[in-house]
Amino acid sequence: MSLTEQTATELLALQAAGKASSAEITGAFLKNIAERDGTIQAFMRVDADGAKAQAAAVDAKRKSGAKLGALAGVPIAIKDVLCTKGLTTTCSSKILENFVPPYDATVIARLKAADAVIVGKTNMDEFAMGSSTENSAYKTTRNPWDTERIPGGSSGGSAAAVAACLAPVSLGTDTGGSIRQPASLCGIVGIKPTYGRVSRYGMIAFASSLDQIGPFTHDVTDNALLMEIISGHDPHDATSIDRPVPAYTKTLNQKVEGLRIGVPKEFFGQGLDSEVEAAIRAALKEYEKQGAKLVDVSLPHSNYAVAVYYIVATAEASSNLARFDGMHYGHRTKQKADLIGTYAKSRGEGFGKEVQRRIMLGTYALSSGYKDAYYLKALKVRRLIKNDFDSAFEKCDVIMGPTAPTAAFKKGEKSDDPLSMYLSDIYTISCNLAGIAGISIPCGFTKSNLPIGLQLLSPPFDEERMLRIARMYEAATDWHTKRPK
Ligand code: GLN
């Protein structure tokens, strides 16, 4: 296997054994980027010089005998929604085209403290609104398994970068599925941690009550490793929770005995592709083979999840994005206008169609006279969705089902139909509304060789057990070892 097909854990071991330096590893990934990213278009910006300098610094640190961080010398790609000091952070939006953050997001600071090598910033749907990266103002990322198809979104660049071996690991964000859905479509592992597990400080907010940052990796072991590094309390984020972070990698290979898997009938209804369903059923069989029991559970309010999400998320977005007005933040129009006109023109030029659509929807849902009917009602239904999970988890340890209703779709297939695009998150959205944790792991391929993802959902702050459960399946299968040609 070439260096770039290895996992982060393997790359750490190679360095520790003196078989590869970070300079060699980083060089190999930069070479892949140079050769392949013209097709894949995963990166908004590659920081080759910064990455080489950091790799050299890690190699020197190793030589000196100093203690190295947990991700020492391993390249990582970062979704362009996370602030990186000195490195443009655009949210793939024209309105932030020239934004260079003066500070690092907490997750970035933690990666740097772990001696990771940041190789660049990845493409995404503008402000993380979308499921295909087609809403990026700059480019559409391609699925490494079939470049006619999209990688999913909104963290499509980060997912494609790992799948195409342009970086061994990356970070994304998940507000309604934006880590799990692209992980599923690209055949890799992606986790949406419990709300409050990972600090959101320095993540440019989309919908603050739903947003979480999480890693993309080839396998569950790397995912556990990344989670150990980025999780934990942060005084800069009032919603981050002050509880200890388990040593996820330590317990990972301990099987969960007497495992009860909840299978919600709502996740196997109309709209689910038959090949996807077959792969999920086969994965459940594998768990049964390992002694797990399948339990029927019901999430009766999940039918409302997409509707509730598109009220709550757009309402929060309309408020969060108000700061980009050409005065306080963001692109300012060159056209002559008065104050209000300048706001309007700057925003009209700076925001793409989908972002404008969401701002309008959210503003409407919050406006006086409609707030009770839409926003407050949606919050009540959100509570019912959370209650459904609470009752389901009384009967099971984990819930399983498909991550996405179909494998990767073709570029352009859904871009003119927002509703059908919104439905690609039908199985992922309720997890964010309930604030629980979820992970997507590879569980097979369609006949046309497109990856399929199995979704695991767990009670809040139960990532340690969820990762172990994910690992049980992974240890018995080899989907996670496949790489696209
Ligand atoms: N696809 C969903 C949306 O468009 C979710 C996006 C996300 O999780 N950031 O809002």
| Ranges of each domain in the chain | 3-260+396-481
- Rounded mean pLDDT, 57-83: 98
Provide the β-strand partners of residue 441.
Answer: 454
DSSP helix/strand/coil, 216: strand
Rounded to the nearest angstrom, the distance between the alpha carbon of 310 and the centre of ligand 1 is 9
Is position 154 annotated as part of the catalytic site? yes
Q: How many CB atoms lie within 10 A of CB 53?
A: 13
Angle of helix 463-476 versus helix 274-289 axis, rounded to 10: 100
Closest ligand 1 atom to the C-alpha of 178? Answer: 8
CA distance 16 to 4: 17
Alpha carbon of 284 to those of 173, 204, 465, 482: distances in Å? 27, 37, 17, 21
Structure tokens belonging to residue 48: 């080759």
- Residue found by looking up tokens 């099971």 in the block: 396
pLDDT band at residue 423, thresholds of 50, 70 and 90?
confident
Starting at the edge strand found earlier in the chain, the sheet holding 451-458 runs 43-46, 117-122, 75-79, 169-174, 212-217, 189-192, 437-445, 451-458, 398-402, 260-264, 293-297
- Rounded mean pLDDT, 278-288: 98
pLDDT at 419: 84
pLDDT at 416: 86
pLDDT at 422: 87
Is position 184 annotated as part of the catalytic site? no
Alpha helices in 177-219 (DSSP H): 180-186
Rounded to the nearest angstrom, the distance between the alpha carbon of 214 and the centre of ligand 1 is 14
Q: Which helix (H) or strand (E) holds 171?
A: strand 169-174
The protein residue with its alpha carbon nearest to ligand 1, atom 4, reads 130
pLDDT at 411: 96
The protein residue with its alpha carbon nearest to ligand 1, atom 5, reads 176
Query: Strand ranges (DSSP E) for 332-436?
Result: 398-402
Contact indicator for 140, 150 with CB cutoff of 8 Å: yes
pLDDT band at residue 162, thresholds of 50, 70 and 90?
very high
Structure tokens belonging to residue 420: 């059908």
Global pTM reads: 0.98
Class of domain 3-260+396-481: alpha beta
Catalytic residue (one of 154, 155, 184, 240): 154
Q: What is the CA radius of gyration of the chain?
A: 21
Rounded to the nearest angstrom, the distance between the alpha carbon of 128 and the centre of ligand 1 is 6
* Residue of 91, 425, 427 with the most ligand 1 atoms within 8 Å of its CB, for mutation: 425
Opening angle at CA 346, ends 344 and 349, nearest 5:
105
pLDDT at 1: 75
Looking at the chain, how many residues does it have? Answer: 485
**Residue 332, burial from CB neighbour count under 10 angstroms (0-12, 13-18, 19+):** middle
* Residue of 82, 123, 131 with the most ligand 1 atoms within 8 Å of its CB, for mutation: 131
Contact indicator for 331, 346 with CB cutoff of 8 Å: yes
**Buried-state track 454-482, b at ≥16 Cβ within 10 A, e below 16:** bbbbbbbbbbbbbbbbbbbbbbebebbee
**Residue 371, burial from CB neighbour count under 10 angstroms (0-12, 13-18, 19+):** middle
DSSP helix/strand/coil, 422: helix
Arithmetic mean of pLDDT over the chain: 97
pLDDT beyond 90 at 41: yes
The ligand 1 site (C-beta within 6 Å) comprises 128-131, 154, 174-178, 206, 313, 425
Closest listed residue to residue 479, CA positions, set 455, 451, 438: 451
Contact indicator for 187, 294 with CB cutoff of 8 Å: no
Rounded to the nearest angstrom, the distance between the alpha carbon of 375 and the centre of ligand 1 is 18
pLDDT band at residue 172, thresholds of 50, 70 and 90?
very high
Closest ligand 1 atom to the C-alpha of 425? Answer: 1
Structure tokens belonging to residue 82: 């996370």
pLDDT in tens, 460-473: 999 999 999 999 99
Rounded to the nearest angstrom, the distance between the alpha carbon of 206 and the centre of ligand 1 is 9
Catalytic residue (one of 22, 92, 93, 178): 178
Rounded to the nearest angstrom, the distance between the alpha carbon of 420 and the centre of ligand 1 is 13
pLDDT in tens, 306-350: 999 999 999 999 999 999 999 999 999 999 999 999 999 999 999
Angle of helix 377-395 versus helix 305-320 axis, rounded to 10: 130
pLDDT in tens, 310-321: 999 999 999 999
Contact indicator for 418, 354 with CB cutoff of 8 Å: yes
CA distance 199 to 74: 22
pLDDT at 51: 98
CA distance 152 to 50: 28
Percent of the chain whose pLDDT exceeds 90 = 97
